[in-house]
Structure 1
Amino acid sequence: MSRLKAASWHLALTAGALAVVFVVARTLWYPRPLFAADGGWQAYGLLAGASLVLGPLLTLIVFRAGKKGLRLDLTLIAIAQVVAFVFGVHLLYTRRIQMVVYSQGAFHALDAAHIALIGAKGQALLRTLPARPAYVYVKLPRSKKALLGVEIRTLQGEPPVFLRGWRYRPYTAAERKQVLTHGYPFLALARTNRVAAAAIARFRKHHRRLVHYVFVPLRGTYTSVMLVLDRSDGRVADVLAFNPGFGQPPT
């Protein structure tokens, strides 16, 4: 077998394994729209890069038919690649999003590290919700005075509002209706922001009139994106690669 053929076979096997992991990660561990916003691409990129370098590339470098010690070289390459592959898959799995919290005009994606911060009541609610990631809603007081108190307690050292698990409620149809009445003023922002305007232009090519949709930020660990929710049922119609930043929506 030639060097190029050996590397090609190794590349095909590696690509097949990476494709299986990609499908599992996109459908089970980081279902839409979480893959782009919360580290799925970053972790998968590390996995793919390490697997390709420690596998097909090293095979291409060391393989020579009849070479003394070739079997040992290929065995060491295989061991290194398997170790890197297992570590990469483990990283993807442990970094998966377990809960998505709606709070103060935005969704927040929480992984295991965040779940450790939401308190016993939030963790207990998570255990009762069968879906993963579980969607919850932060119940805030109605009066402006009480709401101001919530913000003041943040300044006094309490966790951010979206991590206060004792305020969590299941994300039901009633909460979904509330979300659809408090969208982000993305269209107004697009008039002065070129990136937002470009995202809207691409969206318009494939969807109905913009009046049928509500824009809500999704804030992840690594980046943020803009979710486009169908006004009729609250489902995610699209994900815009626009980072709305942090803080309150512009008015």
Structure 2
Amino acid sequence: MMPINFHLPKKRLTAALLHFGISFSIFVLIILLLANSWYPGVYFDTEGGLQGIKIVAGIDVVLGPLLTLIVFNPQKSVRELTVDIGIIASIQIIALLWGVYTLHNQRPVAVVFWNNSFLTVPAQALNEQGYALEKLGDLGNAHPPFVYAANPVNLADLMKMRDLILKQHLPPHHQTWLYRPLKEHFSEIKPKQLNIDGIIAKHPDVKNQLSSVLEKQHIGNIHDVLYFLLQSKYSNSVLIFDQQARYLGYINPD
């Protein structure tokens, strides 16, 4: 009877763990990029940052190491192992680049107040219009900036807005010609703030979230600030501003 070689599984596992370590390091860097730059704060949960992490984890942390565990065989020649690992790495890199590219395109680059609430605008929506994203910095210094979309008051502008909706499928909050600095129009949106007492009555847990936000800003009275609805891709939140249009934080009633 031939002796059983117990070293093959160990070497295969070592290769998979090494692959996992490299992939996990890349994964951590992507998490930091998403959480700190592309989907900061409230947008990580509401705009797809968390969902993106799940996709990247499946591709980067699970797919690559698993393929290595299945394919790696130390009995193969160096050339065969190089080809196998090269194919696995190529598949993983292509899938990872596709995921990161999608997340980059869908990252929120503006938060626009239209009618009664704030709505997020993905980078892709503005890039497709040829709008230079750098120009958003002129509208506000938050990241992403808070913007006011002016409601047309004359017939020509109303027709222009309608045509863009019908012909180019651009909702009003994607139409950059309507964009104005929020601070200059903050008095116009104040009457549309939410009733925080009603929100707390329905969602008692919100009070703790709110206290945490206001304590950091050294604000004692919950009625000294303003609350507005943020409608996002995956869930809605409440944005908190002071009387001078300075963004303070957010709460999640859901």
Shift, 1:137, TM fit: 0.6
| Structure 2 counterparts to residues 14-33 of structure 1, below 5 A | 14-33=23-42
Partner of 1:187: 197
CA 1:166–1:76 in 2, change beyond 3 Å: closer, same or farther? Answer: closer
SS in 1 for 2:249: strand
Going from structure 1 to structure 2, the CA distance change for 1:175 and 1:161 (only over 3 Å counts) comes to same
Question: Displacement of 1:110 after TM fit?
Answer: 0.7
Which of the pair has more CA radius of gyration?
2
SS of match in other structure, 1:184 = coil
Report if aligned partners of 2:46, 2:233 keep a CA contact under 8 Å in 1.
Answer: yes
State the Cα RMSD in Å.
3.6
CA pair 86-166 structure 1, distance change in 2 beyond 3 A:
closer
Contact 2:237/2:251 (8 A) holds in 1: yes
Match of residue 252, structure 2, among 230, 240, 246: 240
Name the amino acid aligned to 2:247: R
After superposition, where does 1:172-251 map in structure 2 within 5 Å? 172=183, 174-176=184-186, 178-179=188-189, 182-191=192-201, 193=202, 197-204=203-210, 206-208=212-214, 209-230=221-242, 234-240=246-252, 242=254
Report the equivalent of 1:110.
121
- Counterpart of 1:82 in structure 2 is 93
Give the count of matched residue pairs: 228
TM-score by length of 2: 0.71
User: Does the 8 A contact of 2:230 with 2:238 survive in 1?
Assistant: yes
TM value normalised by structure 1: 0.72
Residue range with higher mean Cα deviation, 6-15 or 158-167 = 158-167
Which letter maps to 1:238? Y
Displacement after TM superposition at 1:87 (Å) = 1.1
CA distance in 2, matches of 1:98, 1:89: 16
- Kindly indicate whether structure 1 or structure 2 has the higher relative contact order, using CA contacts under 8 Å at least 6 residues apart: 1
Aligned pair partner of 1:39 in 19, 42, 48: 48
> 2:46–2:235: 8 Å Cα contact kept in structure 1?
yes
Distance 1:221 1:23 in 2: 21
For 2:208 and 2:227, the matched residues in 1 are separated by 15
Q: CA deviation at 1:112?
A: 3.6
Partner secondary structure for residue 98 of structure 1: strand
**Are residues 207 and 27 of structure 1, via their aligned partners in 2, closer, same or farther at CA, if it must alter by over 3 Å?**
closer
- Could you tell me how far 1:6 is from its partner in structure 2? 2.0
Going from structure 1 to structure 2, the CA distance change for 1:70 and 1:129 (only over 3 Å counts) comes to: closer
- What SS does the corresponding residue of 2:147 show, helix, strand or coil? strand
- Where in structure 1 do 4 or more consecutive aligned residues deviate above 6 Å? none
- Choose 90-99 or 178-187, whichever is displaced more: 178-187
Once the two structures are TM-superposed, the CA of residue 109 in structure 1 deviates from its matched residue by 0.6
Return the alpha-carbon distance in structure 1 between the equivalents of residues 152 and 68 of structure 2. Answer: 62
Cα distance between partner residues in 1 of 2:42 and 2:115? 19
Secondary structure at 1:89's aligned position in 2?
Answer: helix
1:114 offset after TM fit, Å? 3.4
In the TM superposition, what is the alpha-carbon distance from 1:139 to its structure 2 partner?
A: 2.7
Change in 2 beyond 3 A, CA 1:74/1:241:
farther
Corresponding residue for residue 179 of structure 2:
168
> Structure 1 stretches of 5 or more lacking a match?
243-251
75-84 vs 128-137, greater mean Cα deviation:
128-137
Identity of aligned residues (%): 25
CA distance in 2, matches of 1:116, 1:86: 19
| 2:236–2:252 contact (8 Å) kept in structure 1 | no
Letter of the structure 2 residue corresponding to residue 87 of structure 1: W
Give yes or no for the alignment of 1:63 onto 2:93: no
